[in-house]
Structure 1
């Protein structure tokens, strides 16, 4: 496992994706993350489909320890405060005001630990006219403007993965990392507030700049048209993608790869700006050509030409992809009690080394017994990670 954040201690009180994703990003880099869940069934994302160990939960909670606490209980709240006193970072993604009702607000925790980096993740921010609205991924995509520039307005559909949730978690982990560096200079903790709408607006900075600089309202079809990116359907009904960008050499190579001399002579497509203006017509011509061969045939042919291309792989396709296998992207899940035996490793390599394994996401209260026991023995010390508990602790 990676050790870039070794010795960084994090208390995460997150549910669903944004908070857990932030914790996972830091845990993937070596931080010791203790996930605090409500006593009983834990994070609701555990039971997103069935049981208490959904694939969705596993995705965002690896490399962590877990303890179930009832913060309405004086005894459990004391355990929580003991952890906070020794922690470097606290992460929560409650609705504004909820943390204060359980004694987990910034004012309370910063008095316990002035060096604490406190990260609060919300939907719309800590205050304002929308602050108390319930928010999920699709709502954040919509209100931020991101959805308007990522869908076809003629056939509007949500994008599959929970992008706003995950992107917000990644932004939160970046902010936390920066605050940790600053604390190294000042010795002082800091409160970080980040919302899903802020993260997604920043993520969509390019279309916003198009609006501010050019006075144009971007749409979901602008980027493919301007970038000359195409998705075409092959003879076997499989999809194939390529991206010509602004370099004429890619257009010339494409014409040669598809044996499209007539297309190359077509006045509508003789220059890049004309190809942009006639994008739909060009797309139709290309689909007609690609319908003459299967996708494997096109892949083999394009591999001989300097065109940025790729088959649109399914997840099973990627698992068997030669480049993904060369990069060793799929690694074993260590210490698993149930669930998947392998997963996608962290994206980073440091000095040429990447993670060779990850620790399994914890089952409900998996490390509760050992954490309680360690704090009972030494209330002022962070519970050391000593064992991979193989059964639910008490």
Structure 2
């Protein structure tokens, strides 16, 4: 599918001049670094000689998943078990503002790039270590991946069919942790500007998931009722229905009464306003299943395009239930330049841009690097010869 080709990115991005050394693999560490790279940081990804394992999910060592989590970086390959390569890594750390890794506790120390070791080289360094469960506690030494923390934290109980449990959806645990890590790194950089001191940032996948579920946790603590996969839809008054042409759409009413009234006008069901089961938001929440069934029967009478026009005319929050392919050709997605072509090795490559703008300046990012693509340039910057 053709994608818009973005104009050259302005030079003065917010993190221009900030250097990030990333020692991450798979998702959490790489994604945190990529987010900083989108904002202009010079991210240098130190990969093992055979590359980040995420590369190997396709035959060309450039898998779509690797591209997604490693945009806006430069790459150099180093074997941290080799003293000469470790010296190169130390030289990079000495020039860095930020270091990010997602090793298990203890691994960075054994490789010579632990927090104390790195900050002896560079006291102003913001050192971010991402782990599944933290540096201490009964689970500290356990391996952790996305699905592990989604299940342990309770997230899966909110999105999985309890009668047919199977993993579903995207990797919330990985990506949310990366977002929290980048957020904390930026806070540590601001603090450094005030105090002159670097610091150690610890972010866990388990803690990130619980923070992501803050509303569900608070609701449980207040009510004593354990939330489940149907709790959020009833509270938010969200409905997914199928139109007469078999196409589906979503309606999200929330709590403002105007959206409920707009829905009744759009679907020509004014009599539901007098039904005591649906008189207030609280009533509609308590009788969610009954209202869902009423709406399913109603929406089955017309094609989706007709319903979407009617809902829009009455200012009701609604959308088609798109798959990724349909989402990418949606006119609003195109308007946002959410997915763009950027210059890459050999030819332009399509990437997902940052959703944020500052003073209307986009932060588009750059395509992910090939393995060791920038090794010679990085070594030259350090005053070293080619490997």
Query: What range is the shorter-chain TM-score in?
Result: over 0.9
Match of 1:358 in 2: 365
When normalised by structure 2's length, the TM-score is: 0.93
Match of 1:373 in 2: 380
Match of 1:387 in 2: none
Structure 2 residue 258 is matched with structure 1 residue 249: yes
Match of 2:352 in 1: 344
Aligned mates of 1:49, 1:135 — CA distance in 2: 23
Match of 1:183 in 2: 192
Aligned mates of 1:279, 1:49 — CA distance in 2: 45
Aligned mates of 1:49, 1:263 — CA distance in 2: 54
Report Cα offsets for 1:135-181 as digits up to 9, x if no partner: 11111111112222333434444332111100000100011000001
- State whether residues 171 and 199 of structure 1, in contact with CA within 8 Å, keep that contact through their aligned partners in structure 2: yes
Aligned mates of 2:384, 2:290 — CA distance in 1: 73
Q: How does 1:51-200 map to 2 (within 5 A)?
A: 51-200=60-209
Match of 1:384 in 2: none
**1:377 and 1:76, CA in 2 relative to 1: closer, same or farther beyond 3 A?**
closer
Deviation at 1:197, TM superposition (A): 0.1
SS of 1:303's partner is helix
Structure 2 residue 325 is matched with structure 1 residue 316: yes
- State whether residues 71 and 102 of structure 1, in contact with CA within 8 Å, keep that contact through their aligned partners in structure 2: yes
Deviation at 1:51, TM superposition (A): 2.9
Match of 1:14 in 2: 24
> Pairwise CA RMSD of aligned residues?
1.7
Report Cα offsets for 1:35-72 as digits up to 9, x if no partner: 00001x20000112433000000001111000000111
Match of 1:307 in 2: 316
When normalised by structure 1's length, the TM-score is: 0.91
Aligned mates of 1:310, 1:376 — CA distance in 2: 55
